[in-house]
Amino acid sequence: MGFNRDSAVKYAEKYWNVPCDDGLLWLTNEAIVIEKKRKELNAPAAAGWQALFVKGSGADPEKAVFRRAVGAVTEEKVISGWAGLADCAHFLSRCLTAGGASLSERGVRELVETLQLRADTKTLCERVTKDRAQGVIDTGIFKKGDMLGYFNVSPTGDFGGRQAYSHSTMYVGKIDTAGVGGVTCHTVARFPPKSWVNDSWWLHDGYTYTLIHFSTDDTPPSATSVAALEGWWKLDYAARTEYYYIFKDGRARYTTRVPKSAKDVLHVSDGTAYWFMDGSRKITFIWKASGTVEVWSPAVDAGKYISMINATTPGAATKLF
């Protein structure tokens, strides 16, 4: 069974600013059981108390509360302040499970690693800059329901500036007013255009980005196209020559070493990519380490393509063997 993107996003829209359906809210080192907390704070649902993530104040962007309206007065009991809230991986695990990709991770690093190990995902780019990640998103290959990992690179960033994966979100598509693409998550709670904070996919400066794509609904190229593409290619661009080995399973690698025959095996490469082909036989390569987007368009001659790298640098690709 494939991943159901619509179901994952619908779950996120329902639960983006409330605790998940399992009744848990995760802090850094422990979970709050919402029903138990109701009893502790005397906030029964029958009396109108609703568990919510709400906008904080000052340096604290958010808090979790029980809240109810009594006439014109809003009453509130705090479940947890901003310090310690860490529900993003849990929330996304529940979203993905609703979409048919069962997960139960509680930490961001563990969520990213688990997603990368799945047979139905492709890591399109890993720890790349905002501009390169936007280029990947703009290809349209990265779709709603796909995942982003945020690696802190700022000395004043998350968790005391520790350089590590510190946040995660789910992409919901270009439904935001800025047109760059929006995301949903917990802590801070987001779902465009309902969020009270920025929900553009990049959130704010101080991160590099890992984009993980569920690939089960990708349109496969024809067997004839795959057969013609598999093998060694020479790419000439910007006074440089590189050699690609294109695999039939959607992977590609490159080297600057000249292959001698079709039997040459590329054991150690200078870079790896996934490639995708559309109905016009245009091929899009997304290079994992750099986030480079390279598009090949068929040339007049068979076995040749016109290349464009990051929409700026032209080149020519020729099939070797």
- Give the whole-number percent of the chain exceeding pLDDT 90: 91
Q: Per-residue pLDDT tens for 143-179?
A: 999 999 999 999 888 888 889 999 999 999 997 666 8
Residue 128: pLDDT over 70? yes
| 232 and 307 part of one domain | yes
* Residue 101 resides in a domain: no
Average pLDDT over residues 232-254: 97
What is the rounded average pLDDT for all residues in the chain?
A: 95
| 153 and 125 part of one domain | yes
* Residue 1 resides in a domain: no
Final residue of a structural domain among 154, 182, 214: 214
Instruction: Give pLDDT, residue 40.
Output: 97
Final residue of a structural domain among 182, 214, 246: 214
Average pLDDT over residues 205-209: 96
Instruction: Give pLDDT, residue 1.
Output: 63
* Residue 41 resides in a domain: yes
pTM: 0.95
Q: Which long-range contacts (CB under 8 A, 24 or more apart) does 9-15 make?
A: 9/95, 9/144, 9/145, 9/170, 9/172, 9/184, 10/98, 11/94, 11/95, 11/98, 11/99, 12/91, 12/95, 12/170, 12/172, 12/184, 12/191, 13/184, 13/191, 15/91, 15/94, 15/95
Query: Which of 153, 184, 188 is closest to 171 using CA atoms?
Result: 184
Q: How many CA atoms lie within 13 A of 184 on its CB side?
A: 30
| 50 and 129 part of one domain | no
| 234 and 310 part of one domain | yes
Q: Per-residue pLDDT tens for 276-294?
A: 999 888 999 999 999 999 9
Joined tokens for residue 320? 């070797």
| 111 and 160 part of one domain | yes
| 112 and 209 part of one domain | yes
Residue 87 to residue 81: CA distance in whole angstroms: 13
Which of 155-164, 204-213, 225-234, 298-307 bottoms out in mean pLDDT, i.e. has the lowest? 155-164
Q: Per-residue pLDDT tens for 29-79?
A: 999 999 999 999 999 999 999 999 999 998 899 999 999 999 999 999 999
| Domain count of the fold of the chain | 3
* Residue 5 resides in a domain: no
Residue 225 to residue 249: CA distance in whole angstroms: 12
Final residue of a structural domain among 187, 214, 241: 214
* Residue 95 resides in a domain: no
* Residue 97 resides in a domain: no
* Residue 87 resides in a domain: no
| 152 and 123 part of one domain | yes
Domain that holds residue 38: 21-80
Residue 123: pLDDT over 80? yes
| 60 and 149 part of one domain | no
Residue 173 to residue 150: CA distance in whole angstroms: 18
Task: Say how many C-beta atoms besides its own lie within 10 A of residue 263's C-beta.
Answer: 8
* Residue 4 resides in a domain: no
What CATH number is attached to the domain comprising 242? 2.40.128.10
